[in-house]
Structure 1
Amino acid sequence: MAENETEPTLALKIGTIVLTFAAGWAAQKALALIWKQVTGKDAPTKPDDPDLDLVQATVFAAAAAGTAVLAKRVAARGAQRAAARIAARSARHTA
């Protein structure tokens, strides 16, 4: 257990990293699917592509950034909840 209760444990840090990567991957796939349905074109993969419209590039960048922040926050919250459940379960078993 961590010396300071506010200090995240190693398990929480690793869980947050794993969940962040998983949430980011899922968010990227969802954004690409939604982009294709809305615009009828594949999601941009190269921001310096000369065929990419500036407005499209800007809108996609904003949507991708917002999706990344949302995914990171959801993953962090999920990792904290999972760690709390695990800690509570461990406390019940040791008590």
Structure 2
Amino acid sequence: MADNETEQTLAVKIGTIALTFAAGWAAQKAVGLIWKRVTGKPAPTKADDPELSLVQATVFAAVAAGTAVLVKRMAAKGAGRVAARIAGKARAAV
């Protein structure tokens, strides 16, 4: 029984990592697309870019960081739900 719980915990961790990477990539693309539509310029990739004003750098950093936190939490919550659903099906089969 302990091995089964360890495997489920490992599955949750791996699922969370995979979902976080996928959701992070999608969020990065979305933020970049929205930034370009709003400002007319591509999303900044370097904080020390001389063409990037301090206000733009700060706003972009805040938006990107906020999006990253939101995506990470949603991915962890989603992975937990999936793991609970799988665990429930595994218990019903036994």
Q: TM-score, normalised by structure 2?
A: 0.91
Corresponding letter in the other structure for 1:80 = G
Q: Say whether residues 1:10 and 2:13 are aligned partners.
A: no
Superposed counterparts of 1:80-91, under 5 Å: 80-91=80-91
2:41 matched to which residue of 1? 41
Q: Name the count of aligned residue pairs.
A: 90
RMSD: 1.1
Unaligned residue ranges in structure 2 (runs of 5+): none
1:2 is displaced (CA, Å) by 2.2
2:63 matched to which residue of 1? 63
CA distance in 1, matches of 2:89, 2:33: 39
Runs of 4+ in 1 over 4 A off after TM superposition: none
Unaligned residue ranges in structure 1 (runs of 5+): none
Corresponding letter in the other structure for 1:66 = G
2:28 matched to which residue of 1? 28
1:5-35 C-alpha deviation (Å, 9 max, x unpaired): xxx7100000000000011001000000110
1:78 matched to which residue of 2? 78
Q: Structure 1 or 2: larger helix share? A: 2
Between the aligned residues of both structures, percent identity stands at 71
Q: TM-score, normalised by structure 1?
A: 0.91
1:51 is displaced (CA, Å) by 1.2
CA distance in 2, matches of 1:50, 1:86: 51
CA distance in 2, matches of 1:64, 1:35: 10
